[in-house]
Each structure stands twice: as C-alpha cells, then as structure tokens.
Amino acid sequence: MQKPDDTSAGGCQALQAELAALRRKLAFYEALVEDLPMPVFAKDEHSRFCLFNRAYEKFFGARREDMLGRTVLELDFLSPEERERYQAEDTAHVGEVDEKHYHVSYATPQGLRHTLYWTRGIVSSLGEIGRVGVIVDISKERQLRIKLAQKIRELRDARAELQQLCRTDALTGLANRRPLDDMLEKCVAMARRHGHPFSLLMFDLDFFKRINDSYGHEQGDKTLQACAAVLRENTRREDLPARVGGEEFCILLPGTVLGNALGMAERIRLAVSRNIILPGGRAVTASLGVAQYQADESAEDLLRRADEALYRAKEGGRNRVCS
C-alpha cells in the first residue's frame, strides 16, 4: 500500500492559502474601487467596459449589467457626437500610457455636470492592454469660480464707482477739487517743459446766500445744478469744469491763451444770466476772474492770481469778468 505524499499535500495547502490571500487582496482592491466617491471605469483592448464602480452608475444613472461588455457607441446617455468622439479617442489611445485630462460636461439625471476627465492606457504584466479613467465632478467648484468672478467684477465696479465719487461733486456731477489739482499740476508741467499755454477761470454766483435765504436750500441746490449745466454746454471736451466750494467754480482751459479765456468767460457770464432764472423772474448772475499761466510760477500762484481777478470783479460791481 502506497503512503500519501506529504510533500504534495503540503504544496497543495500552500497554493490554496496563497490563492485565498490573493482573493482577499482582490476583494479588498475591488472594495476600494467600488467605494471611491468619484466615477471610475476601465475598458479592454476592444474599448468595451469591463469595470466601473457605484459612483459611475449613480453619476450617469446607468446599470452595470446594461453596460459591461459594451462600448461608448452603445451608451444612450451620450449624444451621437459624444459617442463618436469618445470611441475614436479610446481606439486611438488604448494601451498608451500617456495621461490625458480635460474638462467635459455631461447631461446627467442630476442636470448638466461639469467634470475633469482623466484617462490613460494600461498594459498588464501579461501584455494585456486597456484603458482606465476617472471622472471628477467639479460643478460646485465651477459655480464657486463663477460666483467669485462675479464678486470680483462687482468689487471692481464698486471700487471704480468709489473712485469716481471721490473725484466728483455729488450735487452737480462736476469734478471736485482733487481732479482739478491733478490736472492743474500736469498743465504746469507741460507748460514748463514744452511752453504749452493754459488758463484758469474762477467764478462764483453773485449773492448766492440771498438765494438760500429767500428761496430755500432746495432752490439753492437747483441753481448750482443749473450752473453746472451751463458750464458743460459752454466748455470744450478738453476743458475741466469743477466745483471747488459752495457757489465757487473753476474751469481749467488747456492750450488757451488769456484772450480766448476771457472770451469764454464772457460767454459763460451771459449764459448764466440768460438761463438761470429764479422764481419770480429774477436772473442769477456770476462774477468771473481769469488768469493765464506765467513762466515758472507754481499752481498755487496761478490760483491766487485767478482768485484776485475774481475779487476785482466782485469789487467792481459783480456780474463781470476781470483778469
């Protein structure tokens, strides 16, 4: 009677133990893939689905039993154009190990989803080839980026509006003192460097306090706004009219010599008295002082001379132009 081969029995047990260990490891890897939160899939050398996880089923609203062994050409949830494009990509790159990733949008049961699509070819140790891919849903991130971009635009607009408000007189819409000072310094620099002439016109409305006292501050505000309208209608695009005080205005006139500045001042004086009429028919008048920039003087010197000319117009009886 032949005795059992202990060596053969031991070898069989070892193989069974190794096989059991491999099965446990395979089950573990399958569980890992199955429980991944993003859709994962794999295709064989003929571009047929051979694996995908629960997240893939949920994302596309598909069942694995309806998809395994099929190519993208047979997937109903893709458009005909998408099927052709993805099939051509699978066929061209199956087995290639170069990674590919790009953004793609899918119509899913949850609505349009924006994703990052990652894929690469695979080659097993036994020479089998295929393709594996992962789909990462970035819809929320995309929405956040859109909202962030919108907030940035709103912030930029608000900043621009704030800057505009900082440089604009709220009542009249004219420039305030800040842009006037900035442009005045530029004109001084151009005059010193290149000899470009420019002039400054300064004026205020005569007896403006009486308008507020007699007709109220609302009428006073309307009068100032009407004065601003006169300035816009009687200045050039390159000129800068500005409100620098209560009823005091300035106009910076680049490229303008004294004679032309005096002519503009006279037109403005007449326009004020003809167009700004108070209740009861009384006309509003203005006194104006004009000065042309002189060589090597500062911006403060020019402002002082224009203010002195305005003072002379008032002392001379108002409703007149002086230089």
Domain boundaries, the chain: 34-166, 169-322
Please answer whether residues 291 and 283 qualify as being in contact, where contact means their C-beta atoms are separated by less than 8 angstroms: no
pLDDT digits (tens, 9 = 90+) for 49-103: 988 899 999 998 888 888 889 998 988 778 888 889 888 888 887 777 778 888 8
Domain over 169-322 is classified CATH 3.30.70.270: yes
Token duo for residue 256: 């303008």
Rounded CA-CA distance 314/84 in Å is 86
CB 146 within 8 A of CB 215: no
Which pTM does this prediction carry? 0.57
Contact between 213 and 222 under an 8 Å Cβ cutoff? The reply is: no
| Dist. CA 112–CA 66, nearest whole Å | 22
Q: Measured in whole angstroms, how far is the alpha carbon of residue 141 from the centre of its chain?
A: 18
CATH class of the structural domain 34-166 = alpha beta
For every one of its 323 residues, what pLDDT tens digit does the chain have, with 9 covering 90 and above? 455 556 677 778 888 888 888 888 888 888 888 888 999 998 888 889 988 899 999 998 888 888 889 998 988 778 888 889 888 888 887 777 778 888 888 888 888 899 988 888 888 777 788 888 899 999 988 888 889 899 989 888 888 877 777 788 989 999 999 999 999 999 999 999 999 999 999 999 999 999 999 999 999 999 999 999 999 999 999 999 999 988 999 999 999 999 999 999 999 999 999 999 999 899 999 999 999 999 989 999 999 999 999 999 999 999 999 99
Q: Regarding beta strands 129-137 and 198-205, do their DSSP bridges make them parallel or antiparallel, or are they unpaired?
A: unpaired
Active-site annotation, residues: 247
Would the CA dihedral through 218, 222, 223, 228 be positive or negative?
A: positive
- DSSP 8-state symbol, 206: T
